[in-house]
Amino acid sequence: MHSFFTPLRKPFLFLFALIFSTSLSFGQAWHPGKKIVASDRTTLGAFGNAVSVSGNYAVIGAFDDDGSGDGKTVLASAGAAYLFYNDNGTWVQVKKIYPPTRARGDFFGRSVCIKDDYMIIGSECQTDVNDQNPIQGAGAAYLYAKDQGGPGNWGFVKKITSPNRQYREYFGSDAAIEGDHIVAGAYYEARTYVLEKNAGGVNNWGVVATLFPQAGNSFNSFGGRVAISGEYVVVSAYSDDNSGTGPALQHSGSAYIFKQGQGGTNNWGLVKKITAPVIMESATFGSAISIDGDHLVVGAPNEMIKTESTTEYVVGAAYLFSKNNGGADQWGLQKKLTADLRLRASFGASVAIKGSSIAVGGYAENLDYKNENPVETAGAAWVFSENRGGIGNWGQTSKITAPDRHEGEVFGNAIALNETQIIVGSQSERDGAPYSLTSPGAAYSFSLEAALPVTLARFGARKLENQAELSWTTTEETNSSHFEIQRSADGRNWVTLQNIPAANESHVVKPYNASDKAPLAGLNLYRLKMVDNDGTFAFSKIEALTFDGVQNALFYPNPATDRLQLSNALLKNTASLKLLDQTGKSVFETSRPTAIIQTGHISAGLYILQITRKDGTVTSSLVAIDN
């Protein structure tokens, strides 16, 4: 085989890769990617204090940046943000973002959020509105859009401020955007604002709602954290005082769920106030929130546990709420998320949810991903997956830490998640420098890679008279459900022929067999789909067999050089012929089939000869061209 394929100058990526390689699954194994740092790294930047990811773009805040790294006028804590693009697994810096006007102590980049073609960056201590009427700590948020100012450019759209600016309101302490809506908190005034595109004019972003906590709950940090998904807005009040079985417990924390249309058309009304099921003093429930569809995650990083000796330890927790748990729109508690934690791990200081994955940061955790090698406040993050440990259960699948851990780097102070990437902030990262050196900060990416539900030692296919005999062997099975035997004529469209029960748990060599008693005329491609009990799966390599029959496509030579000779049996009752390359593109086709296809001008590679009969049936065969 090696000598046969050596002279083929162009890779036949499609079928060749399918047949001679193993496809991978969508398991829950998160693997370290690249360390993400600013191109102009300087000390005291707090790069990584806030992170957000959407598609192939990520934005990272550096609220303490002073501009010295790229020659700007040095303004202490003016702040900045960095935009990165995921180029085949490597996060490449696109640009460093400043507000149109910088000022000392603005904390631009304190919060960041990117969603599709928009990005919002908070500057909670910004003092001026349109460079006039200064009010200390009033705050602002800055909107940017893709293709603003040119194709591919992320340009400035608008500076957004509170309609009721107050001294130390801290508008923009957190901000989020989705679709045509922006949510911006002003936690010191206990207010949150909802803005809508085209409100007040075409392409204008105007305030359409002002959200408040329940009466008597001012100065509770309402608006310190905000999130939006569809018609729901969530606002946390992590300093809220709530009553358990007795008097109000200070800083126990809460979160408020608002819904568009609740209480009237276009009104954003309160659906529910939620707290931890057991209210604890100083738990700061709501220090982090994230909502995606029907699920909401709330962090409580200062929640305590009691040991048998009644000693209390602060370790933290996170809580998962589901929209219809307990009734329609009830947002009932589904699960409390915890991990094997140590004293003051701050588990729940950051949270993110996307689809069937939840990520929880604990910046004060000391142990690495193996729960070994203690390093003071190096930090960690934990990943939970739906249906892990049972249908409907959210179980822990991974613990992740920085590959280069050092004391005080607070990995996990911020976290973001999409379908295939986790971005974790480490705002005090110092690249191994002495602890006394002011830290520039960093972020770390982790990618979702395949994890096979079984260890497949062998998969093979052979012809036995007029049927295909398939056999495979596993050496390890954990939580395995079944095997699906799949067949295809073209490598694109697959059908399941049989389901074979798996062993569920096995630690010995275990053989399996199946057969296809009615293979297709011509090319038959076979593969295994190996399915776990929780729905994750993997594919085996592909095996190819060719069968003769009444409609068999007979041709020679194979591989062909300057021509491919077709037999009369093939041409009989044939309506059309196509020769397709590995991308599915036709390199030859005719509706008047002839006995010879000239191949001297066709690039070397692997092709599909597709024959359409006059009765509409289609058969395919594999052809190699070596010229």
| Mean pLDDT value across residues 490-516 | 87
Residue 296 domain-assigned?
Answer: no
pLDDT band at 216 (very low <50, low <70, confident <90, very high): low
Give the CATH number, domain containing residue 574.
2.60.40
Per-residue pLDDT reduced to its tens digit, 252-287: 999 999 999 999 988 999 999 999 999 999 899 999
Percent of residues, the chain, with pLDDT higher than 90: 52
Residue 333 domain-assigned?
Answer: no
Please give the sequence-ordered ranges of beta strands (E in DSSP) within 302-364, or none if there are none.
304-306, 312-314, 317-322, 332-337, 347-354, 357-362
pLDDT band at 16 (very low <50, low <70, confident <90, very high): very low
Per-residue pLDDT reduced to its tens digit, 143-176: 999 999 999 999 999 999 999 888 888 999 999 9
| Mean pLDDT value across residues 524-544 | 83
Question: What SS3 class is residue 117?
Answer: coil
Residue 5: pLDDT above 50?
Answer: no
pLDDT band at 459 (very low <50, low <70, confident <90, very high): very high
Residue 537: pLDDT above 60?
Answer: yes
* 184 and 250 inside one domain: yes
pLDDT at 521: 80
Residue 615 domain-assigned?
Answer: yes
* 56 and 41 inside one domain: yes
Quote the number of domains for the chain: 3
* 502 and 571 inside one domain: no
Q: What domain range is 216 assigned to?
A: 32-286+402-448
* 52 and 97 inside one domain: yes
Higher pLDDT, 257 or 69: 257
Higher pLDDT, 350 or 467: 350
- 7: exposed, middle or buried (Cβ count in 10 Å: 0-12, 13-18, 19+): exposed
* 566 and 519 inside one domain: no
Give the CATH number, domain containing residue 492.
2.60.40.10
Residue 94 domain-assigned?
Answer: yes
pLDDT at 317: 95
pLDDT at 453: 61
Residue 14: pLDDT above 60?
Answer: no
* 259 and 134 inside one domain: yes
What DSSP string runs through 499-533? EEE--SEE-S-EEEEEEESSPPSEEEEEEEEEEET
Residue 301 domain-assigned?
Answer: no
Residues 607/580, Cβ–Cβ less than 8 Å: yes
If DSSP states are collapsed to H, E and C, what string results for 9-32?
A: CCCCCCHHHHHHCECCCCCCEEEE
Give the CATH number, domain containing residue 281.
2.130.10
| Mean pLDDT value across residues 236-241 | 93
Buried-exposed string 94-118: b where 16+ CB fall within 10 A, e elsewhere: bebbbbeebbeebbbbbbbbbbeeb
Higher pLDDT, 224 or 545: 224
Residue 9 domain-assigned?
Answer: no
Percent of residues, the chain, with pLDDT higher than 70: 87
pLDDT at 536: 72
Higher pLDDT, 246 or 16: 246
Domain boundary among 483, 517, 547: 547
* 475 and 442 inside one domain: no
Domain boundary among 526, 547, 568: 547
Residue 423 domain-assigned?
Answer: yes
Residue 129: pLDDT above 70?
Answer: no
Residue 94: pLDDT above 50?
Answer: yes
Higher pLDDT, 623 or 64: 64
The pLDDT mean for the chain works out to: 85
Query: Which of 99-113, 213-227, 324-338, 428-442 is predicted least confidently?
Result: 428-442
Per-residue pLDDT reduced to its tens digit, 571-605: 777 888 888 876 667 888 888 877 788 888 888 77
* 531 and 498 inside one domain: yes
* 178 and 254 inside one domain: yes
Domain boundary among 527, 547, 567: 547
* 516 and 566 inside one domain: no
Residues 530/444, Cβ–Cβ less than 8 Å: no
Give the DSSP letter of residue 189. Answer: G
* 276 and 413 inside one domain: yes
* 435 and 542 inside one domain: no
pLDDT at 449: 64
Give the DSSP letter of residue 570. Answer: H
Higher pLDDT, 233 or 447: 233
